[in-house]
Structure 1
């Protein structure tokens, strides 16, 4: 199975980015590979570090741009590199709602406290002011709420009697470097097995986007309609499948008759002529899956975009 294509967003030295990079090269069967390091400061030292390691980099100042406008620039670069997951590593920017929505479930952040305690800035000062004996760091999924997404993992760090904000931050940073690569790797590896590869194929199509639909990953064309869904164990069926549109009920029935072990009529979608293609048989023909995704994309895409791509 191809590795997840991870991008890391930084604003400065990129020490957590470096930890992710080196861990990805040292861990056996690491499920991700860093394909891009991007920064909101073209002079961020972490960019030079990444470039020296052969990683593609992108730096662009956010000054003078709206939050949404700058995020659109970064997002276009992520699309250009066919990124599947994003890790924030010392990225000192609040994200726009559109960016958060697009990358929901696939965007990670690490925060230097034991969330939900001490969200935001000046964490170590708050820990010391409260006289706390333990602090630490948290890896979580990014949501619209600042430092409020689902927690994926934490590491605890003792607070010493003579700690200053700087000394505590330095020890917590060591824990961050250990925690972040392990949690990202664990989360990606635990992702539903066929989904990363399906996602890579779907999002490689022009203007393709992903969004949860009724709790399931769905893929749609920007300015158009959904062209595919990933169904996993729907209502306890035990089936993992790709759902795509056929030409209608006649073709749907013909496919099921020809190969009932591969094709099936999915609940709710089947009445509209959609077909379920099983991805849990152990011998998935991914070229066939790619063909179905492209065919379904052509049905869902706006005419202008379809003509631009296919000439039809």
Structure 2
């Protein structure tokens, strides 16, 4: 089986990049590092990547607007046929366009137990609060800072006499254990229902003016000023199915989809008569590009005309 192609973005020494890279050398690792890129041309992590035979790209961001610089990075990712992006000490806020393009496929690691202590100076904040435990979090990237769906966390005890430096050292150990495991789980699709919901959520909420609320006992995604365009369904009324419900053009297309691929598509209860289609997420590897396309299509069908054109320019 081909391994997932991962790029790592760094700005400094790249210790988490190194952890991901060395973990990828294991025979059963489901990903490979195909590019290390940086906004700092002399970042120490680039030298390590070169020494290990990994292609690198570096370009200073000064003088470029955020979206312009992200477009340069995105072009390199496309050139390297990257499928997933791992941020590892990448000290740049990403543009909304970049985040939307990589929704569900871009992850980051943060040195706290999110949602606690977002941003910088985390360890100082932990000690100032008198907390007895901290840790690290791997999450999917969304436009909000350190606010994406959580994929995994590791807990680290705070020891009497800790300084920000000593605490940071131990949290780094935990990061180096957590990040490769979560990345491997993400690319191999073995993260379970919570992670699948997180990926659906990231893709859905990356669409313009999309929101989420519980509806019909399931997480539902709607467009402001419009209607619901998707639902995440897990074992709804004991049917044992995990799937995504989106709008087809009608019952005719719904029936054709199910006839052509009954292992993937199904007619959901309650929503089926209205032309909604269920897409199974519990049949092995998920084609997340396909899911993203369906979400965008269903969003268009539900959004007011003033918004629908935003995905067509």
Alignment TM class, shorter chain as reference: 0.5 to 0.7
Partner of 2:19: 19
Contact 1:132–1:159, Cα closer than 8 Å, also in 2? no
Aligned residue for 1:29, secondary structure, equals coil
Distance 1:279-1:45 versus aligned 2 partners, 3 A rule: same
Partner of 2:146: 147
Give the distance between the partners of 1:239 and 1:141, measured in 2 at CA: 24
Following TM superposition, the consecutive aligned residue runs of length 4 or more in structure 1 with deviations greater than 6 angstroms are 210-215, 232-241, 253-266, 278-282
Residue 160 of structure 1 deviates from its aligned partner by 3.0
Give the distance between the partners of 1:254 and 1:112, measured in 2 at CA: 48
Residue 45 of structure 1 deviates from its aligned partner by 0.9
Alignment of 1:19-98 (within 5 A): 19-26=19-26, 28-98=27-97
Give the distance between the partners of 1:126 and 1:83, measured in 2 at CA: 36
Partner of 2:159: 159
Contact 1:35–1:81, Cα closer than 8 Å, also in 2? yes
Question: Which stretch shifts more, 96-105 or 146-155?
Answer: 146-155
Distance 1:74-1:133 versus aligned 2 partners, 3 A rule: same
TM-score of the pair, normalised by structure 1: 0.64
TM-score of the pair, normalised by structure 2: 0.64
Aligned residue for 1:146, secondary structure, equals coil
Distance 1:261-1:159 versus aligned 2 partners, 3 A rule: closer
Bigger CA radius of gyration: 1
Provide the aligned C-alpha RMSD in A: 4.4
Aligned residue for 2:25, secondary structure, equals helix
Contact 2:156–2:170, Cα closer than 8 Å, also in 1? no
Residue 3 of structure 1 deviates from its aligned partner by 1.2
Question: Are 2:112 and 1:113 aligned?
Answer: yes
Give the distance between the partners of 2:77 and 2:97, measured in 1 at CA: 14
Give the distance between the partners of 2:91 and 2:84, measured in 1 at CA: 18
Structure 2 regions of 5+ residues with no counterpart? 193-202, 213-218, 220-232, 244-254, 272-277, 285-313
Aligned residue for 1:190, secondary structure, equals coil
Alignment of 1:225-236 (within 5 A): none
Q: Deviations over 1:105-127 (max 9, x none)?
A: 11111111111111000111111
Question: Are 2:46 and 1:9 aligned?
Answer: no
Residue 260 of structure 1 deviates from its aligned partner by 8.8
Contact 1:139–1:154, Cα closer than 8 Å, also in 2? no
Give the distance between the partners of 2:235 and 2:261, measured in 1 at CA: 21
Give the distance between the partners of 2:2 and 2:14, measured in 1 at CA: 26
Give the distance between the partners of 1:44 and 1:25, measured in 2 at CA: 23
Distance 1:157-1:184 versus aligned 2 partners, 3 A rule: farther
Across the two proteins, how many residue pairs are aligned to each other? 261
Partner of 1:99: 98
